[in-house]
Each structure stands twice: as structure tokens, then as C-alpha cells.
Amino acid sequence: MTEEKSVESAPPDSQISEVSVESPPPSGPTPEVKPVEKPTGGGRSPLTAVLVILLILSVGMSSYIYIDSGRRIGDLNTQVSTLTSSVQGLSATLADSNTKINALTQTVNGLVSGGGGSTGGGVDITLLYEQVKGSVVLIKSTLPQGTATGSGFVYDTQGRIVTNDHVIDGANSITVTFIDGTVVPATVVGADPYSDIAVIKVDAPTALLKPLSLGNSSALKVGEAVLAIGNPYGLADTLTSGIISALGREMDSASGYPIVDVIQTDAAINPGNSGGPLLNMRGEVVGINTAIPSQTSTGIGFAVPSNTIARELPSLIATGKYDQVYIGIQGIDVTPGIISTMGLPTGTHGTLLTSVTRGSPADVAGLRGGTSFVNVDGVLTPIGGDVITAADGTEMKGIYDLILYLQRNKRPGDTMSLSVIRGGTLLAVSVTLGIRTG
């Protein structure tokens, strides 16, 4: 009979193997049977799985970083290439700018040092003449009594040319000749006989219209170098040089009224120079060469100042005329003899009104002229009129100061307050200014 023996022996965590034994009864002690262990979980622990996952993540992250870094490097290379091109372009521009700066520096140095030409105040007159000569023109006016010649200068690119009124006054026709010989007809835009200024216009090629800039004549100083360019006696494009001899001169005009604030120069001016520019050493127009005391230059010439031109041009261009301010008085400077004769306070300065035009702004305001003639310092003088000592609170030392103040600061329709001595009493008289008509 066969004996079956079942043996169960294993650690709690191990699997139990069943062994069936069919054999003859042992003849000795019973042998010990050990269980067989089977591997669990495929042979991996949870820690190993975690490590594997971390390794996979690490490899993936490294791959991403590598790929992203490559892309970034590519972008940076593109940016570097673009910046390199930009820098090269800027370098070329800088080099070109440096070339231009060097050229300008050489030009300036040439002007300052003299550049081998004749100089005036350190400026090369030769270079300055070359810069401005193309802007000066010869003007011919056909008059009933013949042909008159004068000068002018280009004011703007629309063909406007500035000259003297007496150069074109009464002309049946006007022609303008440019430096290259081009001759074109001109028409009158506007004129003011009281300041002897006129504007004419031509239809000329744009290349010939080279405007000159107006300078500030109030900034001029006696002794300052100036140039005159014009056509004396028809001799085209003549240059003369000199200095400012005096400022604030008074000059008679063809209209019979004095032109005030006039520039005096010793630059040679002759018939035919009229209307041409008087230039400072920057090539700016500071005046229009207008008159000389005689038919030939004597070292004394007069020019209407550029500030007068600048004040009148807008109106001349827009309306064809300029309304000069008008008050309607005649007067003389107060002298010690007049002070003594009229019993004025010692040290009085001002204008003694010798007459007041009937119906004028001064007459309407009640100003009074002389009442009797008395011999003052050997001269028969109208006395007894009002003495103007100030205008709008500004002291007027004489008749010229009063006229100059009116010209520079007042327009028709403006009101001016005058300080007046009448019969030993100081009065304030308000005058509404009018328009000069003749």
C-alpha cells in the first residue's frame, strides 16, 4: 500500500509547492523537503521603477533643452547677422557724414583764414562774391524820356525781385538780366515811394532764382565791413567793399518826405547801383543801395535798411502798397535859444512844433504850431507852439527821434500818447495816427 505524505513548510511570504511522493517506505529517517521559491513582480522592486521613470524624464528633458538651445542659437545667429549688416550700413553712413563734415570744415576754415583771396574781417570776399553774385540782377526800365538802368536782388523762388522805387517808377516796360545773360520781362508787384522800395516779378527758370536772405540792420555797428554789388553805369556784376560809416541817417526821397534810419557806407556806389544789395560778411542783405550826394561816388553812399524792407515787403506783395503812418506836424529840435526865448524849463529836450497841417491827425487831436516869428540865434523861428517831450512814455530828444519812433513802432490807426509842454503846463495829448497820402 502506497503512503502519501503532504509536507507544508515555507515562510509566510513564499508560495507553497506541492510534492507528491510515491516510493517505498524509507528504511531510515525521513528526509527534509525544502520548498522552491518563484520570483515575484517580474523581478523589479518599486524603487527601481521610479529610477527608470526619472531616467527617462531626464533624458527627455535633456533632449528638449538641446533642441531648444539649438533653436535659440539659430535665432541669435540670425540677429547677429542682421545687426552686423546694420552696423556696416551705419559705418558707411558715418563715413559719408565725416566726409561732408570735413568738406564743410575746410570751407569754413577757408572763409575764416582768407583762403588766399581778398578778405574783409577774416572772410574771403572772393568766395562770398561767388556765392551771391547769381542773385543780383540788372534792371532796365523804359521811360518816356529814355532808358534807365539799376540793380536788384532775388527775394524768393517765385520770381520776386527787390529794388528801389525810383528805378522802376514811371516805366512803360521793365526787363531783368541775370548773370548768365538771360533777359526776361518784369511786372511791378508793389512800390512805396516814401521808403523808395519796390518789388517786381519775373517768370524765369528756377535755376536762376537764388534768393538772398535779409539780415538784421539794427544789429549793424559802425566800422563793420560791408559789400555792395550792382551795375554802376551799366557795368554788370560790379563788387565794391567798405564799412558802415554811420547809422540812423536821414535822407531826402523823391516823394519829398525824409527817409529815416538810413545806413551810410563808404563802399563805392554810383548811378546804376540803385536797388542792389548792401551785404554783411555773412552774405545777408542789410540794405538796398539807394543814393549818393552827387552824380559820382564821393565815399558817401546811403542804403535803406533791411529792417525797413522786411517791415514793408509783406504788404507790398499782398496789396501792392505800404501805408505809411502820418501825424501831420512840422517841427525843429529844442535848443538853448528856444528854451530861453519861450521860458521852458532848463534842460528841456524835445520837438518844437512850428506848424500843424490842417485836418491832420495832429490837428484833430488839438496840437498847436507856432504863433509868432522870433529871431532865435540869428534865425527867424516860429515859436509859441507845443513842445513834444515824450511819446508813449519814451523820451523824444528831437524831431528825428519822434519820426524814427513812428516809423519803427506805429501803424495807421494806432493811438499815440504825447507828453506836451504848452504855456508852461505839461499836458498829455492822445493822437490817432492816419495814412500818409501825399
3-state secondary structure 25-70: CCCCCCCCCCCCCCCCHHHCCHHHHHHHHHHHHHHHHHHHHHHHHH
Measure the CA–CA gap between 166 and 143, rounded to whole angstroms: 11
pLDDT at res. 38: 47
Residue 82's pLDDT is what? Answer: 75
Range 233-236 contact pairs with CB under 8 angstroms and sequence separation of 24 or more: 233/270, 233/271, 233/272, 234/138, 234/149, 234/272, 235/272, 236/138, 236/177, 236/179
Among 124, 165, 196, 386, which one carries the catalytic annotation? 196
The percentage of the chain sitting over the pLDDT mark of 90, rounded to a whole number, equals: 63
Let me know if residue 428 belongs to a domain.
Answer: yes
Residue 401 has pLDDT above 70, yes or no: yes
Q: 342 and 306, same structural domain?
A: no
Is residue 99 very low, low, confident or very high in pLDDT (cuts 50, 70, 90)?
A: low
Which carries the bigger pLDDT value, residue 116 or residue 45? 45
Residue 43's pLDDT is 53
Arithmetic mean of pLDDT, 343-371: 95
CA distance 249 to 230: 22
What is the enclosing helix (H) or strand (E) of 89? helix 46-113
Residues 99 and 143 in one domain: no
Choose the final residue of a domain: 208, 241, 256: 208
Q: How confident is the model over 97-111, as a mean pLDDT?
A: 57
Range of the domain at 155: 130-208
**Domain end (from 208, 233, 250):** 208
The answer to whether the CB of 152 falls within 8 A of the CB of 278 is no
Give the DSSP H or E segment for 99. helix 46-113
Kindly state whether residue 27 falls inside one of the protein's structural domains: no
Give the whole-angstrom CA distance, residue 418 versus residue 387.
10
Is it the case that residue 201 has pLDDT exceeding 70? yes
| Lowest-confidence pick of 40-49, 50-59, 219-228, 340-349 | 40-49
Pairing of strands 379-383, 372-376: antiparallel
Residues 334, 407 within the same domain: yes
| For residues 355-367, average pLDDT | 96
Query: What is the Cα Rg of the chain in Å?
Result: 51
Q: Distance (Å, rounded) from C-alpha 52 to C-alpha 36?
A: 30
- Is residue 418 a contact partner of residue 428, using CB atoms and an 8 Å limit? yes
Does the active-site annotation cover 349? no
Q: Considering the candidates 217, 241, 274, 297, report the single residue annotated as catalytic.
A: 274
The CATH number of the domain holding residue 234 is 2.40.10.10
For residue 79, the model assigns a pLDDT of 76
Spatial distance between the Cα atoms of 328 and 252, rounded to a whole number of angstroms: 18
Catalytic residue among 124, 141, 166, 217: 166
Distance from C-alpha of 60 to C-alpha of 46, rounded to nearest angstrom: 21
335 and 424 share one domain: yes
Model-wide pTM > 0.85: no
Q: Does the pLDDT value for residue 6 go beyond 50?
A: no
Residue 12 lies in a domain: no
The reply to whether 424 and 329 lie within a common domain is yes
417/349 same-domain check: yes
Q: What is the CATH number of the domain that holds 406?
A: 2.30.42.10
Q: Is 363 a catalytic residue?
A: no
Per cent of the chain over pLDDT 70 is 79
In a domain, 59, yes or no: no
Label residue 16 exposed, middle or buried (CB < 10 Å: 0-12, 13-18, 19+).
Answer: exposed
Q: How many domains does the chain have?
A: 4
Residue 123 lies in a domain: no
Last residue of a domain, one of 177, 208, 239: 208
Average pLDDT over residues 335-363: 95
Residue 237 annotated to the active site? no
Question: Is residue 305 domain-shared with residue 347, that is, in the same domain?
Answer: no
Q: Is residue 22 part of a domain?
A: no
Q: Model confidence over 368-377: pLDDT tens digits?
A: 999 999 999 9
Q: 422-429: long-range contacts at Cβ-Cβ below 8 A with a sequence spacing of 24 or more?
A: 422/368, 422/386, 422/387, 424/343, 429/365, 429/366, 429/367, 429/386
| C-alpha cell recorded at residue 169 | 517808377
Q: Are the C-beta atoms of 159 and 209 separated by less than 8 Å?
A: yes
Mean pLDDT of the region 165-193: 95
Band of pLDDT at residue 62, cut at 50, 70 and 90: confident
CA count, 13 A, side-chain hemisphere, 160: 17
Assess whether 258 and 298 both reside in one domain. yes
Provide mean pLDDT across the span 69-92.
72
Q: Mean pLDDT over all residues of the chain?
A: 84
Residue 13 lies inside a defined structural domain of this protein: no
What was the pLDDT predicted at 385?
Answer: 96
Distance (Å) of CA 359 to CA 250, 327, 382, 406, 421: 27, 10, 20, 19, 22
Q: How confident is the model at residue 253 (pLDDT cuts 50, 70, 90)?
A: confident
Q: Name the one residue in this structure whose C-alpha cell is 531826402.
A: 252
Least confident of 51-60, 300-309, 333-342: 51-60
Please, which pLDDT band fits residue 4 given cuts at 50, 70 and 90? very low
C-alpha 344/C-alpha 336 separation (Å) is 9
The answer to whether the beta carbons of residues 196 and 218 sit under 8 Å apart is: no
Whether the per-residue pLDDT at 191 is higher than 50: the answer is yes
Does residue 31 lie in a domain region?
no
Residue 344: CB partners within 8 Å, gap ≥ 6? 334, 338, 387, 421
pLDDT computed for residue 164 by the predictor: 96
Per-residue pLDDT at 1 exceeds 70: no
Same domain, yes or no: 182 and 232: no
Same domain, 267 and 224: yes
Same domain, 341 and 381: yes
Residues 342 and 424 in one domain: yes
